[in-house]
Amino acid sequence: MKKIVIFASGSGSNAEQIILHFKNSNQGNVVGIFTNNLHAKVLDRAKNHNIPFEIFSREELIDGSVLQKVEEINPDLIVLAGFLLKFPSDIIAKYPDKIINIHPALLPKFGGKGMYGMRVHQAVLDQKEKETGITIHYVNEHYDEGGIVFQKSVSVEDCKTPDEIAFKVHSLEYRYFPQVIEQLLMSK
């Protein structure tokens, strides 16, 4: 059984979809949730599903403590699902091609430092984009620049608020992210 570790900073609704998907899968299992946010709702979700979790500080992310915890697990895949800090180079170096992120837009559009969550959807609305979507990509040293694994678009011509865009994008995320993770695990 392949081991999946999830990093999340907030609500963790994607993390929960991934947990649920793999509960009945023989391809893999979510074995740990890592968060930098003591108050993140993802912690409630981890507790509800009896998934072990780790809370760490920004300092622990860069001083090697988080790498050490990850190495104790030795995951087959590290999934960033709404993780908002820059991912540290020591973990990237130890797990090449084993770390993926989901971005709530069609990269390279609306990516980079500071582009996350509702900020992305507001920018899509401001730019009067006809469509947006999701991008699942490998994580490298630069925000949102690793190789693209999967993209899916959706029309937002009828959307008048960032919340309406967020709803459409989340629906795509819930539908495709667990599937893409499963396919990646099968190919590893």
Q: How far apart are CA 84 and CA 70, in angstroms?
A: 18
DSSP count for the chain of H helices, then E strands: 7, 7
Given 8, 51, 67, 156, the residue binding ligand GAR (CB under 6 A): 8
Q: What are the percentages of helix, strand and coil residues in the chain, rounded to 5? A: 40, 20, 40
Q: Does 135 bind ligand GAR (CB under 6 A)?
A: no
Given 5, 6, 10, 45, the residue binding ligand GAR (CB under 6 A): 10
CB atoms closer than 10 angstroms to residue 24: 6
Contacts of 145 (CB under 8 A, 6+ apart): 108, 111, 137
Give yes or no for a contact between 114 and 103, defined as CB atoms under 8 angstroms apart. Answer: no
Q: How far apart are CA 18 and CA 26, in angstroms?
A: 14
Quick check: is 121 catalytic?
A: no
Minimum distance of ligand GAR from residue 53's CB (angstroms): 14
Given 46, 61, 66, 102, the residue binding ligand GAR (CB under 6 A): 102
Given 7, 34, 95, 116, the residue binding ligand GAR (CB under 6 A): 116
The contact mask relative to ligand GAR for 142-181 (x = CB under 6 A, - = no) is: ----------------------------x--x--------
Restricted to residues 25-44, the positions that interact with ligand GAR (CB under 6 A) are none
Given 4, 5, 81, 156, the residue binding ligand GAR (CB under 6 A): 81
Q: How far apart are CA 17 and CA 12, in angstroms?
A: 9
Active site residues: 103
Residues lying near ligand GAR in the complex (CB under 6 A) are found at 8, 10-14, 81-82, 102-104, 116-117, 120, 170, 173
